[in-house]
Every structure is written in structure tokens, then in C-alpha cells.
Structure 1
Amino acid sequence: MRLGLFVLSNQQSYGLGQLGGSFFLGLRYDLRMISILLVTMLILGSIPPLHPFSSKRGKKIWMTILGIATLVALFIFSVDFAHYAYLEQRLNASVLNYLEDAKISMGMVWQSYPIIRMVLGVLLVAALLIWLFNRTHKVVSKQTFTGTKRSRILSFIICFLIGGFFIFGRFNQYPLRWSDAFAQGSDYKAYLALNPFESFFSTLKFRHSTYDEKKVKETAPVIGSNLHFTPTENPLNFTRTVAPRAGAVTSKPNIVLVICESFSAYKSSMFGNPLNTTPFFDSLCQQGIFFDRCFTPTYGTARGVWATITGTPDVEMPKTASRNPAAVDQHTIINNFNGYEKFYFLGGSTSWANIRGVLTNNIDSLHLYEQEDYKAKKIDVWGISDKNLFLEANKVLAQQEKPFFAIVQTADNHRPYTIPEEDLTEFKKVQAPADSLARYGFESSDEMNAFRYTDFGYRKFMEAARKEKYFNNTIFVFIGDHGIPGNADALFPHSWTAQRLTTMHVPLLFYAPGLLAPQRVHTISSQVDVLPTIAGLSNITYRNGTLGKDLLDSATTGFAFVFDPDNSMTGVVKGNYLYRKQLVTKKEELVSIINNDPVPNDAAHAAIIHEMGVLTDALYETAKFMLLNNKKATR
């Protein structure tokens, strides 16, 4: 199974010779899972009625257990392969989140994967293996085994100790941990070493998390220093009132915030990708304020929407904050846009990940538009097409007499990569050589064309909006909900691929011809900074009680908190480096994001590691606190 994963997924030009450590570590993980089953058989099978050879009942019981275990193992590996193909991560406990939206999840899976063939394949292989078990059982049953009681006891002890050693995993004080896989030097090597059982059951223990009040108080000065505000006498009070700043737009502008599905930076034209997938959006970036080093705190649409709207990184593990009833009450800066109409447009259903509850509970007087509110027809599990979503939203916004704050959330750049027949006359699919697709971030022409179709949707939206009276006094903001894992070595330093920065690097654009002077900004920024920056541009006084900052404020320090719930890592991108820390082992890592040079092992860089470690801990502990303590004001 591991070799199969290597053959199907190796996008990083690793040869087998470079992956020996991963395969050996993987063998140890596999031996642990196998030994758990075998030691159980050894102990229970030693009971005479359960003996697999001397008892007919024992034979039936163990053949049944092995058959079930085989079927379950093959099913888990099938799900794991699909999970890796989709997210480039081994199966982990966060997959349980999809069960809470089972209908939508199954619809996406059914439309994206050959489910019937996969099920038939699992059943066929399981039948073959079960037949093999029965054949070998017959062969062994015909053999005669002799030995004294003492030799049987000795063999039992030896087998038990060998199995116990494989379960523990090493000659050491501490057992083999799933997080040891991430000492391989890249996330790809780590995922190759893991198996789905190890990664799934090991991440289950992190399903419930809370904050440490003492740590939050201790790190409050670090937060204040980096966000440039002075904490109050109460170190747990992070709320500050921000007054209008110089350079703001004084015409009470409309706001249209577009949360772009899977808008991965390295796949786009703005970063030099030769496949030129987003030429129109690239032209918008040249006319607006474009932040080219923006990162989402973590991976996933629900987490991205949460961070954008609340200003707090979603650090729930492995569930998302939107699913946590204790966190559903959140203040959002959107409510400080007094006198504005509030809109949210989604082509499908906001029941996904309880996003509807987050939106309607926290945004005052929200006008929520979903699939059933449009004339356009549904095209797949995600609802109507992005192009039609933009056009439907434009019709509503064109009728407004009051200023408005509107959010449009897209979905087409997502499996099953549906492009409507109605658009194929104007939108032309293209084909690219397989080696070019792999080199520049795409697994197939279907994925690339879906990415191109997002650019088509942005163009049709802007063409329609320019014809409306609201356009000239509107700030359009585009931000990716998350990136996509993949090989970006042709465009970025290797750390962006090996440490999976590609999953969090997204474009951030503020576009308002006539209101904002164009500029390309290299300041490191985050999804949580979007609303404070919009508010700063809009000349309003707003309340901020989270980790977001106004990116256009001259006092702002550029950094971005990053969080990997599936691998229990926290970190921060700041300056020329990415810093990461394992929550379990506390192992630290510092890599360059500007070149492939190894980080020197000297006092200066030890100081950088310490500084970024302190900031990471402060941001992580404070984010956990804010999820439960960023309450909206009493109305």
C-alpha cells in the first residue's frame, strides 16, 4: 500500500533511494498495527475453546475476525488513498467532520470518485485474501507440532515480547509516536511513512481542546507588542477601539468581499505560473493593492471562512470552530459598518459545517442567499455555478439604495470540477502536457480548467458590475479560503512544498479603481487581517478583539500565524522564515522561505527561533482563548 501511494502520489521528484528512511519508519508503524492484532490473537487463542487450530469454534471465530479485519483494512486504505488524492494528507481524525455534513460530503465524493468500482475492487481483493487465509489455515492444520509444556510457554513469552516490542516501536524510554514521521525533513516523507491507522487513531486524542488562562495572561504583552496596542489592567481583555486613520476612503464605500474557493497562489498567473491560469485576475492585481505574501491560518473552507469573518484563527482540533456550540457567539467587525445592508451569497447551502449558524447568529440583519434563492439551476453538489452566483449577486447589489457590505463565497474550483455546458461556447477548455501540469501544480487538465473557470467568473462579475452605479464607490476584496497542497518547486523555494506553505498561501487583493492607488505589497499578511484592513480603508471606528490588524496602517508588523490541526503543529511566518513547532514533542523547525539555503546553526538564528517560538505560543494560546471569548456586543 505504501509503495502504491509512492507511485501514485510522488510529485516531488524523490527517488526510492531518498525515501529509505520513510519506508523503514513506515514498516515500524505497520508492524505496530499488525502486532496489536497478533498479540490479541496470541493471548485469546491460548484459551482452549478459542484455539485457532485445535478448536473448530476457535477456527470459525478467528477466520471471521481476520475476514472482517481484512475488509476494514482495505476500506480504510481506500478512503486513505482518496483522502490523500484530495488533500495530500493521510487519513486523520478530522475526516469525522465530514460525517456531520454527510449528505453534502457523500454528494461530492459520489461526483468525484468512481465509488462503484472502488467498492467492487475492495470486495474482490478482500475475497481473495480471505480465500488465502483459509487455504493457509488448512495447510498449517495438517502439520503436526510437538513440544513440551515448557517449550510452549517459552515460545508464547518470546512471541509476546516480540509483538510487544513492535507495538512500543523502539528501544527507548518513550514509544514510537506518529509525530516522529515529521522528523523526515518534509511533510511528503512524513505522510509516506505513516499509515492511515496510525495517523487516524493518534489524532483522535486531540479532538477536545481548551485554553490555559495562565498562559494567555503571561503571553498578553507579546500579543500587545506585535499588534501595537497596550493591554489594559486586565490581561485577558484584548478589545481595543480603533479610530479612522489617515488615507481612508471618506465616501462611505460599499464593500464586496469575495472568498475564493481553493485560490492557491502558486497555481495562478500572479506568481509567474507559465500555464497562465488567471490572466484576468492578474490584470486586476496590477490595478489594485495586491498582497503577494498572504497566508490563511490553516487549511479548509470552514476554517477559512471563520478566520476571515471573526478575525480569529480556527485552532479547534480536529473539529472546526463553526461546529463548536460554545464558540458560535462571535463579534465580527462587519457589524461596525453601521447603516450598511449586509449580504452573504453562496451558490449552495450554508448548512455545511454550521456556517449558517455562524453567519446568522453574528452578522446583524443579514440577507442570506443560498441555492434555492436563485433562478440559475444547480450544476453539482456545490449548487449553481460561480459565474451565475456572481451575476445573481450583482442583480441584488445593483438594486441597493443604501451602502452595503456583501460577501460572495465561490465553490467551483473544487472537485468534481464541473464547468457548465452553457459556458463552454465562451469559455474554452485547454489541454496541457502531463509533465507541465505536474510541474506547475495541477494533477489533471480538469483541475487546471476549473481553476481557469474561476478567472472566467471573476471577469464576468467585473464586466457586469462596471455597468452598475454602485461600482465606482465600491471596494472589491478577493481572498482565497485556503491554498492547495502540491509541488511548487518550479516557482518557490523548496520549503513552500516540503513544509506545505502551498496549502495556506493565497492572493489578497483590494480593488477599487479611482479610490485606491495600485501597489504590490510584500508585507506578510493573514486572512485574519482582512476585516481590520477593510475597516481601516472605510473610515469607520471599529471594535477589534482578535488577532487581526490593519495591513495599511504604517505601524503594522507583518507576520502570519499558521496552524496544522491534522499534524498538531503551530507556527508563524515572519521575515524570511517559517517557524513550526510540534505540539506533542515540542520539536522546533526553522526554514527559509526566500531560498533553499539551510538555516545556519548559530547564535543569531537561535535567537530568531526563540523569538518566533515565543510569538507562536502567544498566538496559539490567545487564539484558543479568543474562540470562546470574542463575544458580540449586547444589542
Structure 2
Amino acid sequence: MTFNPLKSRYAVLYAFAVFFITASISLRIAFIYVSLKDTELTLKSALSIFTKGLIFDFGVVLYFGLLYAIYLLLLPQKLNRSSFNKVVSYIIVFLMILISVFSFFAEFTFWGEFESRFNFIAVDYLIYTHEVVNNINESYPLPYLISGVVAITIAVMVLLIRTNNFSDSFKSNTRFKWRLIHSLIMGLLIAVYALYINNSWAEKSENRYQNELSKAGIYSFFSAFKNNELNYEQFYSLLSNEQAFAITRSLLKESGSRYTGNLQSIRKNIKPLGGEQQLPNVIMVVLESFSADFMGKFGNERKITPVLDSLADHSLFFTNMYATGTRTVRGMEALTLAVPPTPGNSIVRREKNKQLSTIGSIFRTKGYQTTFFYGGDGYFDNMNQYFGSNGFDIVDRGRKLAIGDDYKTRRTMIPDNEVNFENAWGICDQDLFGAVLKDADAKFTAKQSFYNFVMTTSNHRPFTYPERKIDIPSGSGRDGAVKYTDFAIGQFLKQAKSKPWFSNTIFIFIADHCASSAGKNEIDVAKYHIPALVYNIPNSRPTRIDKICSQIDLYPTLFSLLNWSYINNNYGKNVLDSTYVPRTMIATYQKLGFMKNDSLVILSPRRKVESAFYNRSTNEQRKEKVSQQLINEAIAYYQTAYYLYSKGGLKE
């Protein structure tokens, strides 16, 4: 008997494909009509748009239909006419259509706002669900929209039923051989799409609208989710690259620095003005979600950070340092790369993040061994891949390297017998510090200088930690977690002081980001204010730095105190330099902030530029016009940072 796909078990799947592709082509035509003036349509570009668009649409159909195709492959023939199969098929197809129709509605509103297919902004909307749902509810008649989506879905289902697609599927007697061949072909095509059909294939035209029209919304959404970035050049205010780099190079120039790269580079050679180079060990402890206002030094009266408050009086103490972002991976990016936060997610989670010019690479040129310590599973948030691909050894609590891990690094698992307390995020800070001490002892014995990046976890929900260590019960809230972290730091330093390597070791305590900031889509300057202390610097007196600065300025400042000569490719500045002008960079996934003294510039998609005066005493941001020069400086920093990352200019 001849196999007829349209009368086979796959009849509904083919009907869905026709519906989806027809609807997607109609949507593409609507977008062309809406943006006809900017599209600069020609016969050649129209053919390219619809050809590429059809290929992307077909890819979406393949991905959409995969689950149902697997179900149809495995369903025994005797159950094909059963009520069970009918219920399952109706539910699966209904959901496929519902999601498709919803995505078409969402794409239409998204195009109206951004004149673009889904990108990282759409992914961002999933991250900030509360804010976005409220915004949509206030902007659109949500009950009517939802009712419309459901009504259209039901109408399409009725059409498929009346055109006998479901009955043809249920009545069919498709042999397993044909089902297997169908599934293998489908799987092969999906593999081709996954490996070779990248969303960037649509971005070949110099006309942005033609590129966007060639894409398919859902395909673009998952591509953005995978790549974790938003194209700065496409959505933000721009200068010419020549002007942007000229401004940036002027801003980054400081005493003892000399540019060594071309005019579209920031690679520079730093040479101290005098003094002997010092090579102490460095242990940087990055404190999870640790806002400045937890500390008594910043006005907190709950006495939950006695150790850090005391330590501040004996350290290089930054009182006005700001995190670049609102998540751990953004803090890691700032502290390892010293670059402004480019739109989208942190470089830690992106592609093209290997063999970069990191702070660790500067240490390695001085003979240091660099190690990343994490109390949880470093597979989370791509941390192990990032650090392992950039020259760090790894000590964590996670799984063994899995098949497909494409980085080579020395990996040490923290053993069970060295763990006294563990929750969902990882081992407690005391146990993590125990691993750091053990490693430092081994390296000192081997006469090996070390630089350690230590990421804590205890100050993270569910705020649990070992009992009877502090006077606040475990799991009772943030204050207890903060106080336990502070206690663990005290115990860590107490043990370290008994070690022979202590006198030649610098300890840095700095936050990755503030608490209660990860869900914010607006820039609230106070939610970026973090503590930063550098303790035990050789031949250096305790110093308080009140100038506004950024996480990215930490190491250039430390290196100046150590009299290091080095080549770097970063945006950080020595805050102690006489030419330093107070400034910082703070961002959400979309909004990019640049604050110089008390003037704030915010760059947003759709090339939007806002400005305000920031009153630190009241935490008020009053809208106020600023000079075009300041706006250009903000644009230059972010534009060049994105350019260098995307063009490979941040490589070693």
C-alpha cells in the first residue's frame, strides 16, 4: 500500500504546518506594509526576505511538532482510534496553535514598539514577569486580547476538524516503518537547523528592516535566549566608531599609560611612575547579594556586619563603589574583564567568551596560578565554562565534567568529608573558606603565587546556614544570612592569620551586586551601591576612597599600589590617579546607565536617551538635561565595549 502523508497519522501535523507558515507569511506581509518606507523593498530583497523567512518558518514548525511527532511514532496502532489518543492529540494540537497565535499577537505588538523580531528584550520580559505583566495590563485590553487568542485557536481547531485532518489521522494505519522514517527525517532536519541555520544568517543586508523581516519571531526568541545579547548597534544611540573610540581613549588615558593597539582598540601598556613591584598573593572574596547598606559604616544600626565594619578601618575602603549590574554573572564579568555591561546578559553566559583578556591573565603574566572557588555547582550560569576557558582552575561542589564540555581545566571537587552544611545553592561560607585555606597551604608549600576568585553563596535565599554560629536562627531571613557571612569572614581571617603565607597575602571583600535588585527593570542608583575593602596591602596605610567609582576600577587601583607594569584591554581606571574623574556604569539587561559625579545618562532601546540629576542623600533621580558631551561619553563607553566584544577585540 502506498504511503500518503496527508492521509497518514501525521495529517494533523501537516495541517498545522500549513496553518503556521500561512499565518507567518501573512504577518511578514503586514510588517512590510507597516514599515514599507524604511524597508527599501526591491524585487531581489523581497525574494530574499520571503525565501529566508520560509526556511525559518519551517524550522519553527519542526521544533514545534517534535513532541507530537515522537508521540505519534511511539503510539501503538491499536490505540490510534482510542479515546485516549483523541484526547491527547486534541490537547497537544490545541496548545501548539494557542502558543503560535499568542506569539503572532505578541510579535505584532513587539514590532509596533521596537520594529524588530523578538530579541533579548523579549527574553528580558520573561525575566521581569511582574513588571511586564503590569505594563501590558495597563497598556492593552488584556482580557479582550486573551479572549481573542483563545477564540482564534478554537476557530483553527474547528477548521482542522471539519477538513477531516483529525479523522484522517485517527483512521489511518501508518506502519511503524513509515513512522520511523518520518521521525528520522524530521530529526535530521532539526539537527541541520540546530547546527547550521543560525539567526545571524538573516542579517546580511545593510537594511535593518530587511534583516528583521527575514526572521521568524519564535526562532529569533530562542536564538536570543541562547546568545544572551542584544545588538547595541541596532537598538541604541550611536556615534561613528571613529568618534566613539576617540572619546573612549581620551577618557581612559591616565598617568603612566600608553596605547599600543590601533585607533579602534583600547589596548594599553601601564607603567608605574616609580617604586618596586610587589607580588603578594591575592584572595578576592565576592559576597553574594551584599548591599552597602547592610554595613554599619553605611548607616545600618542592626549590627549585622561587625567584622566588615571593623575591617574597613584597616583597609583600602571604597565608600562609593557601584556594581555594574543586578546579577552574580554581571559582577563576575566586571571583576574579571573590567568592561562596561553590554546589553543583554553577562559575557559569562554568552558565546565568544573564551581566551579573553581578563584580570586573571594579568596575574598569570606575573607567574600566579589563578583559581575559581564556588560553593555550589559551577555548571550553573555557565561559570565553570567561562572561568575554565579563561585560564582558571576550578574548585567547586558540582558534578564531574560532562560530555560536551569544551574547555580544559584542572577541576577539584570539594569532598563530602569537608562539608558541614549544605543547602540548594551550595556549601556554607565557612566550608568554602576551608577549601580556600587548604588550597593556599598547598600552593605556599609548592612556592606558587596564587590569585583566587572566591564566590560565596550563604547570603542567598533560603538564608540557611549552620546553627548556633550567630544569634539569629538559620532560615529566618536576610539579616541572619548577612550576619553569618560576616561571621564566616571573621573566622576565615582568624585562621589565615596563623598561616605562614598571611603576611604576603591581600584579601579583597566585595559584593557581586546588591540584594533585591535582580528583578528590577529600571535603574535605581542606590540598588547598585556595594561595599569594597582591600585588606593587608603590603607597605600601604588604611585609606578611605570616597570618590564615585565602579567594580571595574578595583584592579587598576590595586595594581597601581603594587607598582605593576602590565598590558591590559580593559576599561577600569586607577581611582587614586590625579586625573581620575568620578564616574560609574550601571545597567539592567536593557538600560545602560552612565553616571559622572551626580549627572546620570540612561541609554535604552529605540535609541532613547534620558538624563537626570542624582541626589545621593535622598536617592532621588530628577529629570534634567545634561550636556551633549556627557551623552557622547556614555554612548562611547557602551558602543566601544560592545564593538570590541562582538569583533573579538577583548581577546588576549
Instruction: Give the deviation of 1:622 after TM superposition.
Output: 1.4
Q: Is 1:573–1:579's contact at 8 Å kept on the other side of the alignment? A: yes
Code of the residue aligned with 1:446 in structure 2: it is G
CA gap of 1:538–1:569, structure 2 versus 1, over 3 A, is same
Pairing of 1:549-628 with structure 2 (within 5 A): 549-565=573-589, 568-584=590-606, 586-596=608-618, 606-608=625-627, 610-628=628-646
Q: Report the CA distance between 1:606 and its aligned residue.
A: 3.2
Residue matched to 2:356:
330
3-state SS, counterpart of residue 389 of structure 2: helix
In structure 2, relative to structure 1, the CA distance for the partners of 1:612 and 1:445 (3 Å cut) is farther
- Aligned CA distance change for structure 1 residues 245 and 254 (closer, same or farther; 3 Å): farther
Please give the TM-score of this superposition, normalised by the length of structure 1: 0.61
Code of the aligned partner of 1:416 = P
- Are the structure 2 counterparts of residues 205 and 361 from structure 1 closer, same or farther at C-alpha, using a change threshold of 3 Å? closer
Q: Which runs of 5+ in 2 are unaligned?
A: 1-131, 165-220, 398-412
Which position in structure 1 is the counterpart of 2:461?
Answer: 415
Cα deviations by residue, 1:419-465 (Å, 9 ceiling, x for unpaired): 12xxx33322169xxxxxxxxxxxx9411101111101110111011
Question: 5 Å matches for 1:235-634?
Answer: 235-246=263-274, 250-318=277-345, 320-337=346-363, 338-363=366-391, 366-371=392-397, 372-374=413-415, 375-377=417-419, 379-399=422-442, 400=444, 401-420=447-466, 424-429=467-472, 445-485=476-516, 499-512=523-536, 515-565=539-589, 568-584=590-606, 586-596=608-618, 606-608=625-627, 610-628=628-646, 629-633=648-652
Give the AA of the match of 1:41. Answer: A
One-letter code aligned to 1:341: Q
Q: Distance in 2 between matches of 1:222 and 1:564?
A: 24
The answer to whether residue 139 in structure 2 is matched with residue 29 in structure 1 is: yes
Aligned to 1:98: none
Aligned to 2:186: none
Stretch of structure 1 that moved more, 289-298 or 525-534: 525-534
CA contact (8 A) 1:430 1:445 kept: yes
Q: Distance in 1 between matches of 2:544 and 2:650?
A: 35
Q: Is the 8 A contact 1:570 1:583 kept in 2?
A: no
For residues 268 and 251 of structure 2, what CA distance do their matches in structure 1 show? Answer: 14
Shift, 1:533, TM fit: 2.3
Mapped to 2, the partners of 1:205 and 1:350 lie a distance apart of 18
- In 1, the alpha carbon distance for the partners of 2:157 and 2:455 equals 60
Contact 1:308 1:528 in 2 (8 A): yes
Deviations 1:602-621 (A, max 9, x none): xxx6344x333212111111
Q: Is the 8 A contact 2:554 2:572 kept in 1?
A: yes
Q: CA offsets per residue over residues 126-159 of structure 1, 9 Å max, x none?
A: xxxxxxxxxxxxxxxxxxxxxxxxxxxxxxxxxx
Give me the whole-angstrom Cα distance separating, in 2, the residues matched to 1:217 and 1:586.
21
SS at match of 2:510: strand
SS of aligned partner of 1:483? coil
Q: Which amino acid aligns with 2:357?
A: H
- Find the counterpart in structure 1 of residue 119 from structure 2: none
TM-score (norm 2): 0.60
Structure 2 partner of 1:176? none
SS in 1 for 2:477: helix
C-alpha spacing 1:383/1:430, structure 2 compared with 1 (3 Å): closer
Shift of 1:552: 2.5
- Per-residue Cα deviation, 1:501-547 (whole angstroms, up to 9, x for no partner): 24322111111166321122111111112222232222221111121
Contact 2:239 2:636 in 1 (8 A): no
CA deviation profile, 1:529-580 (whole Å, cap 9, x unmatched): 2222232222221111121122222322221112211xx2111122123332
Q: 1:254 to 1:453 in 2, by over 3 A?
A: same
CA contact (8 A) 2:469 2:484 kept: no
**Counterpart AA for 2:282:** I
Give the secondary structure class of the aligned counterpart of 2:423: coil
Deviations 1:339-368 (A, max 9, x none): 2232222112221222212212222xx432
Structure 1 pair 356–216 and aligned structure 2 pair: CA distance change class (3 A): farther
Instruction: Report the CA distance shift for 1:521/1:358 in structure 2 as closer, same or farther (over 3 A).
Output: same
Partner SS state of residue 543, structure 1: strand
Cα offset, 1:40, TM superposition: 6.5
Do the aligned residues in 2 keep the contact of 1:569 with 1:580 (CA within 8 Å)? yes
In 1: Cα distance, 2:385 partner to 2:621 partner = 45
Q: Any idea what SS the aligned residue of 1:312 has?
A: coil
* Aligned residue identity for 2:249: G
Tell me which residue corresponds to 1:10. none
Q: What SS is found at the alignment partner of 1:606?
A: coil
In the alignment, which residue of structure 1 is the partner of 2:250? 225
In the other structure, the counterpart of 1:144 is: none
Q: Write the distance in 1 (CA, Å) between the matches of 2:550 and 2:587.
A: 12
Structure 1 residues 291 and 42, CA gap change in structure 2 (3 angstroms) = same
Distance 1:381 1:232, change over 3 A: same
Quick one: structure 1 residues 46 and 632, their matched pair in 2 at CA, closer, same or farther if it must change by over 3 Å?
A: closer
* 1:274, distance to aligned residue in structure 2 (A): 1.4
Cα gap change, 1:29 to 1:512, in 2 (>3 Å) = same
Distance 1:306 1:48, change over 3 A: closer
Q: Is 583-592 or 618-627 further displaced after alignment? A: 583-592
CA contact (8 A) 1:484 1:502 kept: no
Contact 1:478 1:510 in 2 (8 A): yes
Structure 2 distance, partners of 1:509, 1:288, is: 6
Instruction: Please give the root-mean-square deviation of Cα atoms over the aligned residues, in Å.
Output: 3.8
Please give the secondary structure, in 2, of the residue aligned with 1:284.
helix
Aligned residues: 438
- Residues 504 and 596 of structure 1: CA distance in aligned 2, closer, same or farther (over 3 Å): closer
Unaligned runs of 5+ in 1: 1-21, 58-199, 432-443, 488-495
- CA 1:518–1:31: 2 relative to 1, 3 Å: same
Task: Give the superposition deviation at 1:215.
Answer: 3.6
CA distance in 1, matches of 2:470, 2:524: 32
CA distance in 1, matches of 2:288, 2:637: 26
Task: Write out per-residue CA displacement over residues 239-274 of structure 1, whole angstroms, 9 at most, x where no aligned residue.
Answer: 00111344x674421111111111111222220111
Q: Who is 1:209 aligned against?
A: 230
Compared CA separation, residues 233 and 528, structure 1 to 2 (3 A):
closer
> In structure 1, how many angstroms separate the alpha carbons of the residues matched to 2:154 and 2:521?
47
Per the TM alignment, residue 581 of structure 1 is displaced from its structure 2 partner at its CA by: 2.8
Q: Which amino acid aligns with 1:626?
A: L
SS of equivalent to 1:339: coil
Q: Shift in Å at residue 282 of structure 1?
A: 0.8
Give CA deviations for 1:69-97 in whole Å, capped at 9, x if unaligned.
xxxxxxxxxxxxxxxxxxxxxxxxxxxxx
Code of the aligned partner of 2:631: G
Paired with 2:622 and 2:386, the residues of 1 have a C-alpha distance of 45
The 3 A distance-change label for structure 1 pair 287 and 223 is same
